[in-house]
A and B are shown apart, each in its own frame.
Chain A
Amino acid sequence: MEHITLLLGIVIITALVFDFTNGFHDTANAMATTISTGALKPKTAVAMSAVLNLVGAFMSVEVAKTISKGLVNEEGIQPEVIFAALVGAILWNLVTWLVGLPSSSSHALMGGLIGAAVASAGMGAVNGSVVLTKVLIPAIAAPLVAGLAALLAAKVTYKLGDKVGEKTSAKGYRAGQIASAGLVSLAHGTNDAQKTMGIITLALVAGNALPAGANPPVWVIVSAGLAIAMGTYLGGWRIIRTMGKGLTDLQPQQGFAAQTSAASVILASSSLGFSLSTTHACSGAVMGAGLGRKGGVVRWSTATRMFIAWGLTLPAAALVAAGAELVMRTGDIGIAGVTVFLVASCFAIWIISRRQVVDHNNVNEVEPAGAAEPEPGVVTTAMAAVTVPPTAAAAAAAATVADDDLRATIPAATTTPAAPAAAV
């Protein structure tokens, strides 16, 4: 029994880490346009988003109760499988954050679950048609719906509002953006914090610490809410920069149109039962709003890299999770190995990220100029490898980095545990 408790502890902590990465990965969804148009100061924006995420986490447990229903057959679920799924999802979130690309945390989690379940119980553990209807179609539909809505809304607001005085316009669009960004944050808290609650509850049930069909205990709700709020407050500045400045240049009118579209799409989809990813909806809305202004352009090279990341999310997380699950078959040593691998990878990614710091000071600078940087030493030294300036050449370079990181990640999942095995 001791063993199960320890493993369960690791799974719970890992789930909270995933929740944390989910928070800072998705800050951009709610706040990127608000920050890039100057409606809120960067720190204020992430603080507001964090509070609303926390509030949202306490609002309902409906999503948590239905987590993973239908996608994976629950009989095959062991704590190890959930752990493997989380490893895949966390690593994918961190790699995409490193290269500054928005991608769906939910897809990463689903991919992880699928990969781990297949490795553990064979192909029969996954419902292929559910993957298509719940993952692929929404991934294509969300940006189209949100983009079209934002495009039309931006056109409408430019057409109707061309006589609005400057002062009124500045104040008005600022308020509008803050309100719609708040709605997106709140919806994110209810949806995504609950996914983690659902995962932890699932792990507790799988580890026989809770009876089947139990509701998430209070401590699970509190810790999941706090983890996502802290992640949000940390702010995934790299992704915020890509979404707010990299994809297109937004004026307050467009920012407002984009956020309103994103909020409408998210709320409509979740209440009408065709759930769409927040990230996909927001990215689509930003691009649509970018095209909605006369002379507005979308930087398709950045957008293409983002679409590629979306396509890779599920298989990449699945592969890593499957590798982790296979390694863990070897028993305690395997579990220790995967844990060490996860911690080491997170640390390595963090180290790489320090080579070029993106934070609240330079989030709105598309191509950081050395002179304007508060820390010229740190920033200017290592722009080459992991920077995401939206120029075509550099974009291509960064895309290769993404792929290399990915390739480096997947095989490593199976090789690293050799080290601790040897050590033991």
Chain B
Amino acid sequence: MKIDWEALGSVFGVSLSATVALVALFTLGLVGLSKHEAATEQGGSATLARSGAYACFALVTAAVAYGIYLIVA
């Protein structure tokens, strides 16, 4: 009887870090977007916040694309 602790451990580590990283990135993106929207409502603009938000969402999208690649491959 051989239990593959290594595989289990890596599943544990990868899932945990991927989940937290993705959710954190996504939330940061929302924070940036929210700042930008608040600024535009007052007539100003928050370019940095918006670019940061888009960068975050781009990373999340890349992760989702990688997920789809994993499913297909």
Residue from B10, B23, B34, B38 in contact with A260 in the complex, judged by beta carbons closer than 8 Å: B23
| B1-45 to A contact mask, C-beta < 8 Å, 1/0 | 111100110111011101110111011111101100110000000
Find chain B residues with CB under 8 A from A133 CB: 1-4
Question: Chain A interface (Cβ within 8 Å of chain B)?
Answer: 56, 59-60, 129, 132-133, 137, 141, 145-146, 148-150, 152-154, 156-157, 160-161, 163-165, 167-169, 172-173, 176, 179, 183, 186-187, 190, 256-257, 260-261, 263-265, 267-274, 276
Which secondary structure dominates chain B's binding surface?
helix
Given contacts A164-B30, A176-B26, A264-B14, 6 further A-B contacts (CB under 8 A): A156-B24, A156-B27, A168-B30, A183-B64, A190-B72, A260-B19
- Bound Cα distance A344, B22 (Å): 48
Could you list some 17 contacts between A and B, CB below 8 A?
A: A133-B3, A146-B15, A149-B16, A152-B19, A152-B20, A160-B31, A165-B34, A168-B37, A179-B64, A183-B64, A186-B71, A256-B23, A265-B15, A268-B10, A269-B15, A272-B14, A274-B11
Q: Is the CB of B70 within 8 A of A271?
A: yes
CA distance A268 to B18 in the complex (A): 9
Q: Contacts of B4 on A, CB cut-off 8 Å?
A: 133, 273-274
On whether the beta carbons of B26 and A256 are closer than 8 Å, the reply is yes
Query: In the complex, what residues of B have CB within 8 A of residue A173's CB?
Result: 30
Given A164-B31, A168-B33, A59 and B15 contact (CB-CB distance below 8 Å) = no
Which of B2, B23, B34, B67 has a CB less than 8 Å from the CB of A164?
B34
Residues of B within 8 A of A157 (CB): 23-24, 26-27
Residues of A within 8 Å of B28, CB to CB, are 160
Given contacts A261-B19, A269-B15, A273-B7, contact A129 B1 (CB under 8 A): yes
Q: A149-B15, A149-B16 are in contact. Are A260 and B22 (CB under 8 A)?
A: yes
Q: Does A263 lie within 8 Å of B26, measured CB to CB? A: no
Across the interface, do B29 and A152 meet the contact criterion of CB distance under 8 Å?
no
- A160 and B24 within 8 A (CB): yes
Pick the contact of A186: B14, B23, B30, B68 (CB < 8 A). B68
Residues of A within 8 A of B27 (CB): 156-157, 160-161, 164
